[in-house]
Amino acid sequence: MVDSDPLFRRAGGPIMDLRQIQHFLAAVEHGNLTRAAAALQISQPALSKSIRQLERRLDVRLLERGRFGVSPTPFGETLVAHGKAIAAELRHAESEIDALRGAQRGHVVMGCGPSEATRLLPLALADLLAQNPEIRTTVHYGLNEALMPWVRQGDVDFALSSVPASPTDPELAHDRLYEDAASIVARAEHPLANKRRIGAADLAGYNWVLARRQELERRAVDDYFRAEGLPLPEATIETTSTVLMKSVVSQTDFLTLLPRDLIYWEEHSGNLVSLPVAGLKWTRFVGITRRRRGTLSPASRALIEAIRRTAAGLGQAAAPHL
């Protein structure tokens, strides 16, 4: 009899099956076998048995089990990376089969940066759903330090965010959509808001709310002050939340540096202003990041095309198609 579950085979029988991989990934995601079992709608003993069978087949321990939950061993970390990629490819295969049957449906799991979630992505999603109302989209929100690992591991099909000027990761492919500028941002009633020309020395006396140092925007601030021969500003508040950055700046005399896309609506409402800082010119590329060796489902390609159309409609030049 043919076993329909095994994902990989060898002469001695099945090595792993898809169901066991899914059970293992759920245990890692939830960090607790009881919660994972509830999410999978199976019993906790059944989940434990499935994972132990997988461990026996691989002859390694995949999970560390403790009083407060479970976590992957080094062997488990390896399986997590490959298992997520396999799950993503199977999701794409299902979407491809639906497309061959003529079904205009599918499920896209994507990552999105803060600026792109402000205007571009909402408009693109509206465009997508107008033509493909049965496509579902799950959007994971974050900065690039979280988005790029999600793409690499297959947690998301692709990411819409900042892309590097030159490739830095051989596993990732970046396709530029357009170039966006950033500026020093303050509230409309800030003491500097009405000055026509502002230098680095004018900025030095204020508190800052900034991203962490590895983020592009934070490095831009440091590079600017370094070029002006001034000490680097210390972040009184350091955060990964652009919502918090905008909230702090709109209610205090704090300053920050943010992409113009991110403050589009606040500038139009007159709540925030971009300060005319002399000598500061920083831009970033916005684009699509995907796994170089992965595939894109028809639903993912449809959303990417909607993003491209929207970018073009907003006056932002799109790069060649994926």
**Per-residue pLDDT reduced to its tens digit, 47-84:** 889 888 888 888 888 898 887 888 889 888 888 877 77
- Are 172 and 204 members of one domain? no
In a domain, 165, yes or no: yes
| Pairing relationship of beta strands 208-210 and 134-141 according to DSSP bridges | unpaired
For residues 207 and 131, membership in a common domain is answered with no
- Alpha-helical (H) ranges within the chain are 18-30, 33-40, 44-58, 74-100, 114-118, 120-131, 144-153, 200-203, 216-227, 242-251, 264-269, 298-313
Mean predicted confidence (pLDDT) in 213-227:
85
For the record, the structure tokens of 302 come out as 């449809």
Provide the domain limits for residue 245: 180-284
Reported as a single tens digit per residue, the pLDDT across 250-291 is 999 999 999 989 999 999 999 999 999 988 888 889 999 999
pTM (2 d.p.): 0.64
Quick check: is 303 in a domain? yes
Q: Are 56 and 137 members of one domain?
A: no
Residue 39 banded pLDDT, cuts 50, 70, 90: confident
Same domain, 231 and 277: yes
Residue with tokens 């590097």: 164
pLDDT-derived band at 11 (thresholds 50, 70, 90) equals very low
Which CATH number goes with the domain that contains 58? 1.10.10.10
Residue 35 has pLDDT above 50, yes or no: yes
Asked if 54 and 170 sit in the same domain, the reply is no
- Could you give the count of Cα atoms lying within 13 Å of 108 in the half-sphere of its Cβ? 29
**Residues 44-54: tens digit of each pLDDT:** 888 889 888 88
Q: Which of 80, 96, 114 is the last residue of a domain?
A: 80
Residue 16 — pLDDT band, cuts 50, 70, 90?
low
Q: Is the pLDDT of residue 192 over 90?
A: yes
69 lies in the same domain as 128: no
Name which residue leads in pLDDT, 27 or 112: 112
Alpha-carbon Rg for the chain, nearest whole angstrom, is 24
Residues 50, 52, 53, 57, CA torsion sign: positive
Residue 258: CATH number of its domain:
3.40.190.290
- C-alpha 157/C-alpha 5 separation (Å) is 24
Q: How confident is the model at residue 99 (pLDDT cuts 50, 70, 90)?
A: low
Does 51 map to a domain? Answer: yes
| Average pLDDT value for residue range 111-118 | 94
Of the candidates 20, 16, 34, the residue with the CA atom closest to the CA atom of residue 70? 34
The answer to whether residue 322 is domain-embedded is no
* Residues 43 and 159 occupy one common structural domain: no
The verdict on 271 and 304 lying in the same domain is: no
Number of domains composing the chain: 3
Please tell me whether residues 151 and 195 are part of one structural domain.
no
89 lies in some domain:
no
pLDDT exceeds 60 at position 5: no
Q: Is residue 94 part of a domain?
A: no
Q: What number is the average pLDDT over the span 291-306?
A: 89
Q: Which CATH number fits the domain that encloses residue 308?
A: 3.40.190.10
Residues 245 and 190 in one domain: yes
Confidence of residue 100 (pLDDT cuts 50, 70, 90): low
Pair (146, 292) in one structural domain: yes
- The answer as to whether 97 is a domain residue is no
The span from the CA of 232 to the CA of 258, in Å, is: 17
pLDDT band, very low/low/confident/very high, at 316 (cuts 50, 70, 90): low
Alpha-carbon gap, residue 132 to 111, rounded angstroms: 20
Instruction: Count CA within 13 A, CB hemisphere, residue 142.
Output: 16
Same structural domain, 68 and 216? no
Is 131 inside any structural domain? yes
**CB of 175 within 8 A of CB of 210?**
no
Using an 8 Å Cβ cutoff, are 311 and 292 in contact? Answer: no
